A and B are shown apart, each in its own frame.
Chain A
Amino acid sequence: MDSTKPLAGGIPMVSIDGAMIRRIREEKGLTQLYVATVVGVTTDTISRWENRRYPNIKKENALKLAEALEIQLSDILDHTPPAPTAEPSLSSANKSPEQENTPPPPDDLKGSLASESIAVQSDRFRSLIAKQPVFILLGGFLLLALAGLAITWWYSENDGENQVAAFRTLPVHATPGIAFPVVIEVTNSSSKSFSLILKESLPPDCIPAQGKPQFVFQESDPPVLKWIGKITGDHAVYSYLAKLKPETKMETIHQFTGGVTVRSDDNPSIPVAGNDSLQVSPFHWADNNGDGRIDDEELLSVYETYGGIEGLLFGKKLIEEIWSAKGYRWNPETRSYEILQ
């Protein structure tokens, strides 16, 4: 009996006896790796051949396999009567050994009818595309919109820890004994609400004065302020006033650090971004460029940043007095600013 069957592409195929191949290989003490290397396929392919997952293989590969096993080709061919097979519709010339032979459909007629049906449907589809490109465009838009909705839903359903961020607004400098404001804005880009703990460590030379909302003060070294709250919208604002101790040396720099913990302490703290250092200076904290006056832009910045925080006593009166005047200067004797009219 001839086990050779040509494929549509003209490549001769043979039916192999996987159990026989395994037995011979094992009798000769050959590994699947060795056989695979000689044939030029992977060990998975050898395994599939032995387990009859690919009962039909290229004759060329079968010859190499016989050579690797040091036997004749006929010794590994399957001599049982083959089941009727349908002509494959695609050439297997470019297929890999893994793809080269899948079991054919059991019924020739069914196979050819199915192929015809698919071909007819395909022709109808092509004709529809040619006649109605607008429907294809609309379908594309619809698919894109659905994909966008799916992505949005996926992001909104994911944990919110990565969607919470905190940003500190701190003046670049401040004068010892003069209260300056600090604002920490926590933003929530998800639609969920979270319980949070905000911790802010102040420099050792800094004394907290007022909190909006009120903080819990931990008198430690460094001093720590804590807020326990809930973020229900897209952001929450935590603010406080602090003063540098009167004896703090001019020109020294002091560091602030903070973090937000969401839901539970199991989650890592999200660090507070933004400005974290403050220089001790004879210039008022609102005089951002340190030119000895508060100009229009500096005044507007102060009001935009701190003016909306109800009840935060950041020294509006003094700032407006300096803005209205020609300038100011720090008097170290009186430890106050002199307004220059």
Chain B
Amino acid sequence: MTAKKNHTSASSLLFVALLLLVSLPRPLCAGEPLVGGQYLSAAGQDIQLLVTVSSPAPSTLIVIQNLPPGTVIDAASPAFNQYDAGKGEVKWLLTHVNSGRYTVSLRLQRPVVSGGISGDIRYKDPGSGRMINLRVRP
């Protein structure tokens, strides 16, 4: 009976030791997304895309907003770097990026319907150096 108890307590001890070993803090695994995107407003005249960046942050992001071709833009915040009206593609270049939240906004001349837009966020993964393209849908 005593021997059985000893066995049980020793096994528990071993289990706890292994649990501690595997639960040691470790760096963010490769492949876990560093950047996320979410529409705060995806229909009407005002389009707002929220970009969240976690650590280690890529230094530069390219944010792309795909609009219906021929859309006229009244205002943008921040100012965009490229707009191809024929394709309806707006591009922002965000440099000196740190971990945190960034919002890009557009004021359109005419409202767009929900589902008529999409976004892309492009960056270089700081670990692998590979370019990541994150598609964002409303």
Closest to A326 in B: B84
What is B's interface to A at a CB cutoff of 8 Å? 3, 6-7, 10-11, 13-14, 17, 58-60, 62, 81-82, 91, 93, 95-96, 122-124, 126, 129, 131
Question: Contacts A138-B13, A320-B81, A324-B82: A300 and B6 contacting too (C-beta < 8 A)?
Answer: no
Question: Contacts A135-B10, A138-B17, A307-B95: A300 and B81 contacting too (C-beta < 8 A)?
Answer: no
Binary contact track A279-308/B, C-beta < 8 Å → 1, others 0: 000000000000000001101110110011
Q: Is A141 an interface residue (CB 8 A)?
A: yes
- Inter-chain CA distance A323–B95, complex, in Å, is 14
Least distance between A61 CB and chain B CB atoms (Å): 53
In the bound complex, do residue A297 and residue B131 qualify as a contact, i.e. CB atoms below 8 Å apart?
yes
- Pairs A–B under 8 Å by Cβ, sample size 15: A131-B3, A134-B11, A138-B13, A138-B17, A296-B62, A300-B131, A303-B59, A303-B60, A303-B95, A304-B58, A304-B59, A304-B129, A308-B59, A320-B81, A323-B81
In the bound complex, do residue B59 and residue A307 qualify as a contact, i.e. CB atoms below 8 Å apart?
yes
Q: Which A209-238 residues sit within 8 Å CB-CB of chain B? A: none
In the bound complex, do residue B123 and residue A300 qualify as a contact, i.e. CB atoms below 8 Å apart?
yes
Option from B7, B11, B17, B124 in Cβ contact (under 8 Å) with A300 = B124
- Inter-chain CA distance A36–B122, complex, in Å, is 80
In the bound complex, do residue B93 and residue A301 qualify as a contact, i.e. CB atoms below 8 Å apart?
no
Closest to B80 in A: A324
**Chain A contacts for B126, CB-based, 8 A:** 304
- Inter-chain CA distance A320–B62, complex, in Å, is 12
Least distance between B86 CB and chain A CB atoms (Å): 12
Interface of A is mostly: helix
- Inter-chain CA distance A137–B18, complex, in Å, is 11
**Chain A contacts for B82, CB-based, 8 A:** 323-324
Binary contact track A134-175/B, C-beta < 8 Å → 1, others 0: 110110010000000000000000000000000000000000
Least distance between A308 CB and chain B CB atoms (Å): 6
**Chain B contacts for A320, CB-based, 8 A:** 81, 93
Least distance between B121 CB and chain A CB atoms (Å): 11
In the bound complex, do residue A141 and residue B17 qualify as a contact, i.e. CB atoms below 8 Å apart?
yes
In the bound complex, do residue B59 and residue A138 qualify as a contact, i.e. CB atoms below 8 Å apart?
no
In the bound complex, do residue A299 and residue B10 qualify as a contact, i.e. CB atoms below 8 Å apart?
no
Closest to A302 in B: B60
- Inter-chain CA distance A132–B91, complex, in Å, is 67
**Chain B contacts for A135, CB-based, 8 A:** 10
- Inter-chain CA distance A131–B6, complex, in Å, is 9
Least distance between A201 CB and chain B CB atoms (Å): 27
In the bound complex, do residue B13 and residue A304 qualify as a contact, i.e. CB atoms below 8 Å apart?
no
**Chain B contacts for A307, CB-based, 8 A:** 59-60, 95-96
Closest to A298 in B: B131
In the bound complex, do residue B3 and residue A300 qualify as a contact, i.e. CB atoms below 8 Å apart?
no
In the bound complex, do residue B14 and residue A300 qualify as a contact, i.e. CB atoms below 8 Å apart?
no
**Chain A contacts for B129, CB-based, 8 A:** 304
Task: Please give 18 more A-B residue pairs, beta carbons under 8 A apart, in addition to A134-B10, A138-B13, A138-B14.
Answer: A134-B13, A137-B14, A296-B62, A296-B131, A297-B122, A299-B62, A300-B122, A300-B124, A300-B131, A303-B59, A303-B60, A304-B124, A304-B126, A307-B59, A307-B95, A323-B82, A324-B81, A324-B82
In the bound complex, do residue B123 and residue A134 qualify as a contact, i.e. CB atoms below 8 Å apart?
no
**Chain B contacts for A308, CB-based, 8 A:** 59
**Chain B contacts for A323, CB-based, 8 A:** 81-82, 93
**Chain A contacts for B59, CB-based, 8 A:** 303-304, 307-308
In the bound complex, do residue A132 and residue B6 qualify as a contact, i.e. CB atoms below 8 Å apart?
yes
- Inter-chain CA distance A174–B130, complex, in Å, is 24
The 7 nearest A-B residue pairs measured at CB? A134-B10, A303-B60, A304-B124, A300-B124, A297-B131, A324-B82, A134-B14
- Inter-chain CA distance A304–B6, complex, in Å, is 58
Least distance between B14 CB and chain A CB atoms (Å): 5
**Chain B contacts for A296, CB-based, 8 A:** 62, 122, 131
